Amino acid sequence: MSAGTRMPGVTDAPVARVTGGLLVYLLMGVYFGVVLIKSEAASWYRIQEMFRFESIHMYGLIGSAVLTGLLTTWLLRRSGVRSLDGQAITVTPKERSWERYVLGGATFGIGWGLAGVCPGPIFTLLGAGVWPMFVVLAFALIGTWLYGALRKHLPH
């Protein structure tokens, strides 16, 4: 690597600035966790209602998250904003094969159905004192490791 190139994610910013930035992310994560609990998005009962088509609550939450993601991605692409350290924010185009989505969606859905939660609320539920989520966290980490070990053999 030449002296003029930079590694993605590596910054030359002072430690105080980096630590302050990490504090902002921590506070945003805590806020997001409170929102998950208050909106009942981390509720096993709400998730079961959704899978049984007994309530529209979770579909509304998921739909609003999808719309927010679409709008944010569109705005990022159109505005040309930069990160705090001046790097361009880009969205890498993905290959449009269906196999990767079917395999990934099935794996995610089976895990979600078995655990009763998607990966997002695991830490939120641990923070709320739902200690069996340590088992879910352990298997989520095992699954992440397994994906890394098998990645070159999976459709991408």
Residue 7 has pLDDT above 80, yes or no: no
* The pLDDT of residue 144 is above 70: yes
Distance CA 64, CA 126 (A): 25
The C-alpha atoms of residue 117 and residue 110 are separated, in whole angstroms, by 11
Give the number of other Cβ atoms within 10 Å of residue 148's Cβ.
Answer: 9
Residue-wise pLDDT tens digits, 95-134: 778 888 898 889 888 888 888 888 878 888 898 898 999 9
d(CA 114, CA 12): 43
**C-alpha dist (Å) from residue 109 to 51, 89, 106, 119, 122:** 10, 30, 5, 11, 15
pLDDT tens per residue, range 18-62: 677 788 888 998 998 898 889 888 888 888 888 889 999 989 989
